[in-house]
Amino acid sequence: MEESSSSNQDRARKPRDLTPEERAELRTGRAIRNLLNVEGWHVYRKILEAHLLAKRNELESPAESSLDGIAQVLRFEAVKGSIIGLRLALAIPEGILSGDKMLRQTLGLAATEDDDDQ
């Protein structure tokens, strides 16, 4: 009887196998963490931020009087769409890392892949 209760305890302590989706999410988190640590990312981020600033300035500039109302609305919407896209591009890596952190906490894994056997 003691052997069966001992093996039940061992099974309860063993971590479950990760699903393919969980493994993929952890690999993506690792890749993004590595990306954010290279100089190329910092250069790319500055480029995106410069484009974002230019689009904000364009949005804040007075409407062109030579354009009709519809053309001005379309120009505004195009600039607004560019701003949203640039902000999204800047925010995606942090969102992925946040999801990676939550998944690791849920699975009881270490804070980073360096601390576990992934």
Q: Is the pLDDT of residue 14 over 70?
A: no
Q: Is the pLDDT of residue 112 over 70?
A: no
Tens-digit pLDDT profile for residues 67-86: 788 888 888 999 999 999 99
pTM assigned to the model:
0.69
Q: Is the pLDDT of residue 22 over 70?
A: yes
Q: What is the 3-state secondary structure (H, E, C) of the chain?
A: CHHHHHHHHHHHHCCCCCCHHHHHHHHHHHHHHHHHCCHHHHHHHHHHHHHHHHHHHHHHCCCCCCCCHHHHHHHHHHHHHHHHHHHHHHHHHHHHHHHHHHHHHHHCCCCCHHHCCC
Q: How confident is residue 114, by pLDDT bands cut at 50, 70 and 90?
A: low
Tens-digit pLDDT profile for residues 94-104: 999 999 999 99
User: In the predicted model, what is the mean pLDDT of residues 34-48?
Assistant: 96
- Of residues 113 and 32, which shows the higher confidence score? 32
